[in-house]
Amino acid sequence: MKLKRTPLILLAIATLLGLGVYLHESQQANQQQVSQNQGQPLFTFKEEDVQAFTLKTPQHTLVFTRMAASPAPQKSGTPPSSGPTADAPVWQMTNRKTTAASNASVAYLLNLLATAKREKTLTVPTAKQAEFGFDNPLAIVDVTLKDQKTHRLVLGNPDFNRSYLYAQVDPPEKPQPELSVSLVTMDFENAVKRPVPEWEGQPQKGSQN
């Protein structure tokens, strides 16, 4: 027994309508996820919470540790010094060489980590990570807080018009079928693409005999 043409047409229309509803709901769900993540901070820690961090780039690996500055000894009858106090943060580079670090360069990066926001968050297949620059990252920043908690930021390529950088925030250690990719400010490029001498500071006065 042959089906009439009208029921077949109705069945095709119903199938197309169902597919359209499914695609529309999926698109709305993705847009809702993006809007929920937009404007969220990358991390919840503060700049002063950072105890140490490692910066890895294709050119070098640098390690920095927060130290406590000792006040310079005062001569009798002289007014107190306006220099660093025992509570002031002083950073030291411990790799690739051991030397005083540039507090300004360190503070610029740490302030970005503590205050930057996600402009948008995308979910993409892991197989496409090379398209976003994660096969050879611009930089990987590993942060250790004073409470020994750790965080990681992986910076990839700029987007098509160089308005933002693609980034992974605390990516999972084990490979996943999908990546959560955030768009972050291009200021991170300036913060991490420094020659090594710009990370080095001047020794504190009075530190040498």
Residue 129 Cα distances to 30, 57, 76, 125, 181, angstroms: 19, 17, 63, 7, 9
What residue spans of 82-195 are helical by DSSP H?
103-115, 187-192
Each residue of 55-77: pLDDT tens digit?
Answer: 999 999 999 999 975 544 555 55
pLDDT of residue 5: 62
Stated pTM of the model: 0.73
pLDDT at 115 over 90: yes
Q: Which two tokens stand for residue 152?
A: 């990681």
**What pLDDT is attached to residue 13?**
73
Can you give the pLDDT at residue 31?
A: 43
Average pLDDT value for the chain: 82
For residues 124 and 184, give the distance between their C-alpha atoms in angstroms, rounded to a whole number.
16
- 22 alpha-carbon distance from chain centroid: 34
Percent of the chain whose predicted confidence (pLDDT) is above 90: 63
List the domain boundaries for the chain. Answer: 10-39, 47-70+85-199
